[in-house]
Structure 1
Amino acid sequence: MRKEFIAYLSGMPLRVIIRNYSADDIEDMIGIQRESFPPPFPSELWWSREQLNEHITRFPEGAICAEINGKLIGSMTALLIDGAETDADHSWAQITDNGYIRNHAPAGNTLYVVDLCVIPAYRQAGIGKWLMQTMYEVVVHLQLKRLLGGGRIPGYHRYQHEASAGQYIDRVVAGEWSDPVLSFLLRCGRMPAGVIPDYLEDEQSCNYAALMEWRNPFWNGNN
Structure 2
Amino acid sequence: MYSKELYVFEQDQPVKALVRSYTKYDFTDLIAIQQQSFPPPFPSELWWNEEQLMNHTTLFPEGALCVEIEGKPVASITGLLVNFEPEHADHTWEEITDCGYIRNHNPSGDTLYIVDICAIPAYRKLGLGKLLMQSMYEVVIALNLKRLLGGGRIPGYSKYADRMTAEQYTAAVVEGRLKDPVLTFLMRCGRMPVKLVQGYLEDEESLNYAMLMEWRNPFIDSLRMNY
When the two structures are superposed, what TM-score results if normalisation uses the length of structure 2?
Answer: 0.92
Aligned residues: 222
Deviation at 1:48, TM superposition (A): 0.6
Q: Work out whether residues 196 and 212 of structure 2, in 8 Å CA contact, stay in contact via their aligned partners in 1.
A: yes
Distance 1:170 1:65, change over 3 A: same
Q: Following superposition of structure 1 onto structure 2, how do residues 1-223 of structure 1 map, counting pairs within 5 Å?
A: 1-38=2-39, 43-84=44-85, 87-220=88-221, 221=224
SS of the residue aligned with 1:140?
helix
- Backbone CA RMSD of aligned residues: 1.8
Q: Which amino acid aligns with 2:142?
A: H
Deviation at 1:40, TM superposition (A): 7.4
Separation in 2, partners of 1:7, 1:26:
24
Distance 1:15 1:175, change over 3 A: same
Separation in 2, partners of 1:85, 1:79:
17
Q: Which amino acid aligns with 2:169?
A: Y
Q: Which amino acid aligns with 2:82?
A: I
Separation in 1, partners of 2:57, 2:29:
14
Deviation at 1:80, TM superposition (A): 0.4
Where structure 1 has 5 or more consecutive residues not aligned to the other structure, the ranges are: none
Distance 1:49 1:80, change over 3 A: same
Larger mean CA deviation between 165-174 and 46-55 belongs to 165-174
Q: Write the deviation string for residues 92-113 of structure 1: whole angstroms up to 9, x where unpaired.
A: 1111000000000111101100
Deviation at 1:206, TM superposition (A): 1.2
Separation in 1, partners of 2:55, 2:182:
27
Q: Which amino acid aligns with 1:122?
A: Y
SS of the residue aligned with 1:200?
coil
Give percent identity, aligned residues only: 58
